[in-house]
Structure 1
Amino acid sequence: MSTKARAGTVAGTSVGFVVIMIWCLLPVAWIISLSFKSTAETGAGSPQFLPKDGTLDNYKTLLGVGKLSDGSEPDPAVSHDFLHALINSFGVALIATLLSVVFATLAAYAIARLEFKGKRLVLSLALAIAMFPVVSLVGPLFDMWRTFHLFNTWPGLIIPYMTFTLPLAIWTLSAFFREIPWEMEQAAQVDGATSWQAFRKVIVPLAAPGVFTAAILTFFFAWNEFVLAISLTSTTDSRTVPAQMSFFVGADPFNPPYGQLATASVVVTVPIIVIVLLFQRKIVAGLTSGAVKG
């Protein structure tokens, strides 16, 4: 390839990269800009991209700190509901992630290492469950959870979340366990380790990228899930942030508080960004290590 052709290829790739980045990040930039706009500005017919007079009132209202630009105190009900929903999201997502990863690790190890009848059927059923539409389960779960007194509780959300996250975690981890040489586990047992010790001290550390990948994917699902959260809760006692945001209607139903909705979206996105930045190497290693054989 000539120098001119190579330069043209690099230039075309760079332009394409910039266009894709703008296309992907423009909605994010718009939401961030919207979070700094006042209610009067967001209620205008065609608000401009950048705020005319930037304000932190939306953040103060949701977090319940400081005074607003007009000197008044933020509405304590709004901040209480949002912060409580944020706690619910963290609690439900973390518990669902922990339980899913533990059960998926044990199940994936058995599927990868043991030979038993119906192993392919188990994997097929797991995949079918993961592909099952969530909305079709809302009605039966609503009736069951009210009968079992699980409606509007953390377990009432954690259990169905695990139903959909376990299959994905099992598929992800089983690929990693197949890549780990069987001889390493046998060598640990020859040195005196029990099967459980070999699994815990040899196999699981080697599959750490896969465990991180399964945990992060599970956490993302539980953190962002909306249909079950809005259908299986009725108060802020267990309602998560995605569901709580649908109740940000404001005093005027024809003029929703777009600034508060955008602010809530920014606040909810921050933990995801932090997790990705902290564990990006683990995520990349987890998505690639189990995908290639040899």
Structure 2
Amino acid sequence: MAKPSAKGTGIWSLLAVPIMIWTVIPLIWMVALSLKKPADLGNPEANILGGFWPKEVTWQNYELIFTGGANDLFLPALRNSLIVCLSATLISVVLAMFCAYAIARLEFKGKKMILTTALAVSFFPVVAMVTPLFDVWRRIGLFDTIPGLIIPYLALTLPLAIWTMSAFFQQIPWEMEQAAQVDGATNWEAFRKVIIPLAAPGVFTTAIITFFTAWNDFVFAISLTSENARTVPAALAFFTGASQFEQPTGAIMAAAVVVTIPVVILVLIFQRRIVAGLTSGAVKG
């Protein structure tokens, strides 16, 4: 394969710059709002760069959500988000591994139908599922519980995980598994010691994508919880200001920055593995 020319690389770099700026500016604006005093939000004289950045940086919004009046709402919601999203991701990835392996290795009727159904379910409107789930959950006692959120999140993450991971398992040479079995390994040992390590980039990529999907959900979180299992996206809607006429913009932005940090850190640390996983399933080799 021919290497891209320096001219082509330069053109792509120039095109990437405005996209990066377009993506980063909202994040910086969110950080800037979280560092402003409530009185400075609408005061141009208290800000620089056209009202973009505050002249005096304050940490009172972060103190409010961690140690102040909003900590009783934010900290439990942050804990719930971690428990629910990590649980949904773990269950989805484990189930999707076995399903994707069966789709890639076994011949049976309806295999394409399973993949098509998984893709169709992932595009199904979440709002359409909320009303019946709300009624059922209230009847069987799952409303406002951690399992009551994990189960609907599987409807979001599992089809996506199956579809994504199937492409990676199809790229693994069948001969490597057969060689392990010839050497005396059982089917389970070949799957655990040969297939899973080779599919690790794809598994990791799927885990990241499913975690982000669950982490950013708002509809299920706001509709199927009350107080005990409320996650951060839903909790932000219940932030209140010092009075009914004051919008807690700074506190909301501070909470948004806190919940965005894990996502940014994961992407920065594991970006090579994410890219490797996404590209490994793109071509056959």
**d(CA) in 2 for partners of 1:23, 1:278:** 22
CA contact (8 A) 1:43 1:255 kept: no
Contact 1:213-1:286 at 8 Å conserved across structures: yes
Aligned residues: 276
Corresponding residue of 1:257: 248
After the TM superposition, which residues 25-36 of structure 1 pair with which residues of structure 2 at under 5 Å, given as runs?
Answer: 25-36=24-35
Question: Contact (CA 8 Å) 1:185, 1:199: kept in 2 or not?
Answer: yes
Deviations 1:44-80 (A, max 9, x none): 489611112211101111111xxxxxxxxx32xx112
Match of 1:21 in 2: 20
Gaps of 5+ in 2: 1-5
Is 1:177 paired with 2:169? yes
Could you tell me the TM-score, scaled by structure 1's length? 0.89
Residue 58 of structure 2 aligns to a residue whose secondary structure is: coil
Of the candidates 216, 219, 225, which is equivalent to residue 217 of structure 2? 225
Does residue 214 in structure 1 map to residue 196 in structure 2?
no
Whole-Å separation in 2 of the counterparts to 1:119 and 1:241:
38
1:292 maps to: 283
Matches of 1:232 and 1:209 in 2, distance apart?
34
Q: In 1, Cα distance between the equivalents of 2:14 and 2:180?
A: 53
Deviations 1:170-193 (A, max 9, x none): 111111111111111111111111
Deviation per CA, 1:238-280, whole angstroms, max 9, x where unpaired?
1000000011122333331111111111101001111112211
CA contact (8 A) 2:156 2:214 kept: no
1-structure distance, mates of 2:165, 2:262: 24
Structure 1 vs Structure 2: percent identity of aligned residues?
A: 61
In the alignment, what sits opposite 1:57? 60
Q: CA RMSD in A?
A: 1.9
The answer on whether the counterparts of 1:245 and 1:261 sit within 8 Å (CA) in structure 2 is yes
Distance in 2 of aligned mates of 1:18 and 1:229: 35
TM-score by length of 2: 0.92
Counterpart in the other structure of 2:141: 149
Cross-structure match for 1:238: 229
Deviation at 1:8, TM superposition (A): 11
Q: How does 1:1-294 map to 2 (within 5 A)?
A: 10=10, 15-44=14-43, 48-64=51-67, 74-75=68-69, 78-235=70-227, 237-294=228-285
Letter in 1 for 2:55: K
* Aligned mates of 1:14, 1:203 — CA distance in 2: 37
